[in-house]
């Protein structure tokens, strides 16, 4: 008889494990059932106790299954471990004697090994080996470690964790690591390089060799290659093996002892011809001894055996390249080592510029020769000699002064490059200063001086130089990367107002030729004409645009916002596709409390770049000035979604949220005597704005005094808040706080729909509050229960596992409790294959219903 004989029983509930109908757990059914597999499943369910404990029914099922299938695995039971009572007296006595004899043999072996160790290391009888990296030895049994007094720490508030900077703490760890003293190697002299193996068996020698080799491996992995060599030598003295020779060769390679490594590889190949590791390591020694042909032969042997060996392929390509280079050098009879140097300086170009110049003093040929020699020495890596040649050329040209300013500027710049390579940053800065005196706004001296300042940790001066370079060539990647890097450093060192501590950034005049320019997408001139006249017109417009923008930026720095408005407006007549101009002009409007105009400029900027953080932030301030607090809140949330590190946006979010919740906003604005000042970012001095934090000052006093305000505290129809899948608890908290403020159940339901239920406890973290809890329940009940009951059940299940859940249950009101009960009732009335009524009842108990 099978379960198919009772199709009507399948609709009355099933067990969780095997989906067996509850009605099958019955004496009559089991007695009639002849399906062995089905009976085994029933027996497993009865033994598990998930449906209750029924000893008689379980025993009856076992007997029936025994009758049908005596060899069934379900009837097998674990045999308990044997004890002394399981054996007879004679058997137990024999077992006990065997154990005692085994213990005594092991003790003898240990005593014997201990005797050899004490004979080998008599000086270390009382002391343990020295700790790697220290000068002291640990004394055994002599002194007891004194307990260090621990400083009692008071418990910290949860809010302090929000201020914890992980990157800063990691940087402290790195700095502590760098400050460690150099590892002391004096203890190596105490280690004997040979082990006396006289009288030892082969088994004992093998044991000692392996033991010493493992010590060498530990030292090698710790970076103590000298110590590793000594332990490998001890291992070889006990018993020479291929592995020990190979390992010692690798340690010698790390120490650049090429001859010793070569000899060890030879030993390996004598013991085991064709050993791959030995061939690879011998090829490495050949390469560094400039025996390139022999290295190629060894690497070819390796690739014949292992064609896919990546290390051999890479090394072979390097050796072949070196061989070609050496052949080329020998042909041209060029002495010295070949070096590939990536330098900003293009000495050939500079040399070409003045190769045809002749000076009145008749020293032009000699100066050009010295400069050419300096360039060649610089390319070969001989920086000190190159600096000497440049100094000699400077001494010849210096009397002429300003007459040959360009030539002198190039020589000073070249000598600065030599000083920078040698680490003489002060000399580099002095030469760059002199080069810039002779030829202002020359890009290469500016770059070299910036690098020297950065090396000397004068980050503010380096930032100014890099920003000046970007005015000359806005597309120079090196300068852009450096500006971004230094911005972060200066923010950490000087705080949010770090820009105020900088020296003024000089404005590069329009006469300085641009080295990179991306013209506007729209043509300004629409008049017919030949291509050359159009090109000339574009260049003129570009220069005018840049000059006007720089003048506007300078006006902002001087707090002359009205003139800055005019400059930016003229810029837009030339190119109305520049997003930075709109955001800059919006800043000026905010300063002048013209919020409607600021909002319009931000709208234009967001049409060009919908992800522009500054435009979104400044539009939020404009909405706040217009008292459209809900729209301001939406924009601030979008800013934090784009960049969660902007502290000014977080402060504004708190302020706008508070204003939104006030009952009488107008009265509260008029009563406030002192207003907090909000920081927005000043216009950047460069060509483009950095996507950083806005600074500057907008007094909210002008918000209160604004006339013609038509919004009497009631916000306009709120815009839909963009909901994206949160990646961490912070992003989830930002979104859920905004939704809780707006009481937007539909948007909250969308957030839950795109969030995996199992991630809910992690995303909520310890921030589950009453308002959030109620919003989640309402969203599940009103917006999700009809669409996806299974998702609602999963969210309720994982919500019960969140921190502070039990606390929330103690704080909910009676009405909220009735709402949760209604949600569970709706869930019970909705048929679903993913959960049962028993599951819902169990979950209700979690919610204390």
Per-residue pLDDT tens digits for 181-213: 445 566 666 677 778 777 788 888 888 889 888
Q: What's the average model confidence in pLDDT over 808-837?
A: 80
Contact of 363 with 396, CB cutoff 8 Å: yes
| pLDDT band with cut points at 50, 70 and 90 for residue 609 | confident
Spatial separation of the C-alpha atoms in residues 503 and 524, rounded to whole Å = 36
At how many degrees (to 10) do helices 770-779 and 745-753 cross? 80
| pLDDT band with cut points at 50, 70 and 90 for residue 449 | very high
Provide, rounded to the nearest whole percent, the portion of the chain with pLDDT above 70: 73
Which of 665, 661, 670, 605 has its CA nearest to residue 635? 605
Region class of 457: left (phi > 0), else alpha (psi between -120 and 50), else beta: left
pLDDT, tens only, 83-106: 878 888 888 889 889 999 999 999
Q: For residues 365 and 781, which has the higher predicted lDDT (pLDDT)? A: 781
The label of the residue with tokens 């120079």 reads: 476
Report residue 665 as tokens.
Answer: 């906003």
Q: So what's the pLDDT on residue 686? A: 40
pLDDT, tens only, 728-774: 877 788 888 888 877 788 888 888 888 888 888 888 877 788 788 88
| pLDDT band with cut points at 50, 70 and 90 for residue 176 | low
pLDDT, tens only, 336-365: 433 333 343 433 333 333 433 434 444 566
CA distances from 288 to 253, 265, 292, 315 (A): 10, 15, 8, 12
Spatial separation of the C-alpha atoms in residues 549 and 681, rounded to whole Å = 17
pLDDT above 50 for 707: no
Query: Phi and psi dihedrals of 167, rounded to 5?
Result: -60, -40
Partners of 127 in the beta sheet?
Answer: 139
Q: So what's the pLDDT on residue 152? A: 45
Report residue 812 as tokens.
Answer: 């909910």
Exposed (0-12), middle (13-18) or buried (19+): which is 458, by Cβ within 10 Å? middle
What count of other Cβ atoms lies within 10 Å of the Cβ of residue 596?
Answer: 12
Report residue 617 as tokens.
Answer: 């932030």
Choice among 374-383, 615-624, 657-666 with the minimum mean pLDDT: 657-666
Choice among 494-508, 527-541, 806-820 with the minimum mean pLDDT: 527-541
Contact of 15 with 24, CB cutoff 8 Å: no
Spatial separation of the C-alpha atoms in residues 302 and 274, rounded to whole Å = 8
| pLDDT band with cut points at 50, 70 and 90 for residue 415 | very high
Q: For residues 504 and 346, which has the higher predicted lDDT (pLDDT)? A: 504
DSSP 289-319: TT-HHHHHHHHHHHHHH-TT-HHHHHHHHHH
Spatial separation of the C-alpha atoms in residues 543 and 206, rounded to whole Å = 81
Q: What's the average model confidence in pLDDT over 642-657?
A: 81
Spatial separation of the C-alpha atoms in residues 17 and 401, rounded to whole Å = 95
Choice among 168-172, 468-472, 790-794 with the minimum mean pLDDT: 168-172
Q: So what's the pLDDT on residue 163? A: 60
| pLDDT band with cut points at 50, 70 and 90 for residue 806 | confident
Exposed (0-12), middle (13-18) or buried (19+): which is 80, by Cβ within 10 Å? exposed
Q: What's the average model confidence in pLDDT over 705-712?
A: 37
Spatial separation of the C-alpha atoms in residues 399 and 274, rounded to whole Å = 70
Between CA 382 and CA 388, with CA 383 as vertex, the angle to 5 degrees is 105
| pLDDT band with cut points at 50, 70 and 90 for residue 251 | very high
| pLDDT band with cut points at 50, 70 and 90 for residue 367 | confident
Which of 749, 820, 740 has its CA nearest to residue 783? 749
Average pLDDT, the chain: 76
Q: What's the average model confidence in pLDDT over 64-78?
A: 85
Q: So what's the pLDDT on residue 562? A: 84
Q: So what's the pLDDT on residue 678? A: 45
Q: For residues 257 and 1, which has the higher predicted lDDT (pLDDT)? A: 257
SS3 category, 441: coil
Q: What's the average model confidence in pLDDT over 22-31?
A: 89
Q: For residues 344 and 846, which has the higher predicted lDDT (pLDDT)? A: 846
Q: So what's the pLDDT on residue 382? A: 86
Query: Could you tell me the sign of the dihedral formed by the alpha carbons of 496, 497, 498, 504, in that order?
Result: positive
Full-model pTM? 0.27
pLDDT, tens only, 33-53: 999 898 888 989 888 888 888
pLDDT, tens only, 315-329: 888 888 888 777 665
């Amino acid at each position: 008889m099978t379960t198919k004989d009772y199709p009507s029983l399948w609709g009355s509930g099933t067990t969780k494990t095997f989906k067996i109908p509850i009605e099958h757990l019955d004496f009559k059914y089991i007695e009639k059932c002849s399906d062995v597999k089905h009976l085994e499943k029933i027996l497993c369910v009865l033994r598990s106790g998930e449906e209750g404990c029924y000893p008689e029914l379980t025993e009856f099922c076992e007997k029936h299954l025994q009758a049908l299938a005596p060899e069934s695995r379900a009837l097998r039971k674990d045999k308990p471990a044997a004890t002394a009572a399981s054996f007879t007296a004679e058997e137990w006595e024999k077992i006990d004697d065997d154990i005692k004899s085994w213990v005594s043999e092991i003790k003898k072996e240990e005593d014997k090994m201990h005797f050899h160790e004490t004979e080998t290391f008599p000086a270390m009888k009382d002391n343990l080996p020295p700790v790697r990296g220290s000068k002291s030895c640990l004394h055994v049994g002599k002194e007891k470690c004194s307990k260090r007094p621990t400083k009692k720490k008071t418990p910290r508030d949860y809010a302090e964790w929000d201020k914890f900077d992980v990157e800063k703490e990691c940087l402290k760890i790195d700095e502590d690591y760098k400050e460690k003293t150099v590892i002391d190697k004096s203890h190596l002299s105490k280690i004997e390089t040979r082990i006396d193996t006289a009288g030892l068996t082969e088994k004992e020698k093998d044991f000692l060799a392996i033991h010493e080799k493992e010590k060498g491996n530990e030292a090698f992995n710790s970076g103590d290659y000298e110590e590793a060599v000594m332990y490998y030598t001890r291992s070889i003295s006990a018993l020479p093996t291929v592995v020990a020779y190979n390992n010692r060769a690798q340690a010698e390679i790390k120490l650049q002892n090429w001859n010793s490594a070569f000899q060890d590889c030879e030993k390996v190949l004598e013991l085991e011809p064709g050993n791959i590791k030995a061939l690879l390591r011998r090829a490495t020694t050949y390469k560094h001894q400039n025996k390139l042909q022999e290295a190629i032969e060894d690497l070819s042997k390796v690739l014949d055996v292992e064609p896919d060996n990546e290390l051999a392929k890479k090394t072979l390509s390097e050796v072949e390249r070196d061989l070609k280079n050496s052949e080329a050098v020998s042909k041209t009879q060029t002495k010295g080592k070949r070096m590939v140097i990536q330098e900003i300086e293009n000495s050939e170009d500079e040399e070409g510029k003045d190769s045809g110049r002749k000076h009145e003093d008749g020293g032009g040929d000699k100066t050009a020769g010295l400069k050419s020699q300096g360039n060649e020495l610089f390319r070969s890596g001989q920086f000190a000699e190159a600096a000497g040649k440049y100094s000699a050329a400077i001494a010849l040209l210096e009397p002429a002064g300003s007459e040959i300013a360009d030539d002198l500027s190039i020589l000073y710049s070249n000598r600065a490059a030599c000083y920078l390579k040698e680490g003489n940053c002060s000399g580099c800065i002095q030469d760059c200063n002199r080069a810039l005196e002779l030829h202002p706004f020359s890009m290469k001296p500016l770059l070299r001086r910036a690098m020297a300042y950065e090396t000397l940790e004068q980050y503010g001066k380096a930032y100014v130089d890099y920003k000046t370079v970007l005015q000359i060539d806005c597309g120079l990647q090196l300068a852009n990367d450096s500006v971004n890097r230094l911005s972060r450093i200066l923010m950490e060192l000087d705080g949010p107002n770090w820009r105020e501590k900088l020296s003024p950034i000089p404005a590069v005049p329009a006469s300085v030729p641009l080295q990179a320019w991306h013209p506007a997408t729209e043509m300004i001139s629409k008049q017919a004409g030949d291509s050359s006249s159009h090109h000339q017109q574009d260049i003129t417009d570009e220069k005018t645009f840049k000059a006007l923008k720089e003048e506007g930026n300078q006006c902002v720095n001087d707090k002359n916002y009205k003139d800055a408005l005019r400059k930016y407006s003229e810029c837009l007549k030339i190119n109305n596709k520049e997003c930075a101009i709109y955001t800059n002009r919006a800043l000026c409007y905010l300063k002048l409390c013209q919020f409607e105009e600021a909002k319009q400029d931000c709208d234009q900027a967001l049409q060009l770049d919908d992800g522009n953080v500054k435009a979104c932030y400044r539009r939020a301030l404009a909405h706040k000035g217009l008292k459209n607090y809900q729209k301001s809140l939406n924009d601030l949330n979008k800013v934090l979604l784009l960049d969660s590190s902007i502290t000014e946006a977080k402060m504004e979010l708190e302020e706008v949220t508070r204003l939104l919740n006030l009952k009488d906003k107008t009265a509260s604005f008029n009563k406030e005597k002192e207003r907090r000042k909000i920081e927005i970012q000043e216009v950047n001095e460069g060509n483009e704005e950095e996507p950083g934090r806005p600074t500057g000052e907008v007094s909210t006093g002008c918000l209160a005094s604004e006339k013609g305000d038509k919004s009497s505290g009631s916000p306009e129809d709120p815009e839909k808040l963009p909901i994206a899948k949160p990646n961490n608890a912070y992003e989830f908290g930002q979104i859920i706080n905004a939704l809780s403020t707006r009481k937007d159940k539909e948007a909250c339901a969308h957030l839950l729909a795109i969030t995996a239920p199992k991630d809910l406890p992690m995303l909520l973290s310890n921030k589950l509050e009453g308002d959030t809890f109620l919003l989640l329940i309402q969203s599940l009940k009103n917006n999700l229960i009809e669409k996806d009951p299974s998702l609602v059940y999963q969210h309720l299940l994982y919500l019960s596992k969140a921190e502070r859940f039990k606390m929330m249950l103690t704080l909910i009101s009676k009405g909220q409790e009735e709402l949760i009960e209604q949600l569970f009732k709706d869930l019970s009335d909705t048929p679903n294959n993913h959960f049962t009524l028993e599951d819902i009842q169990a979950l209700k108990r979690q919610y204390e219903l």
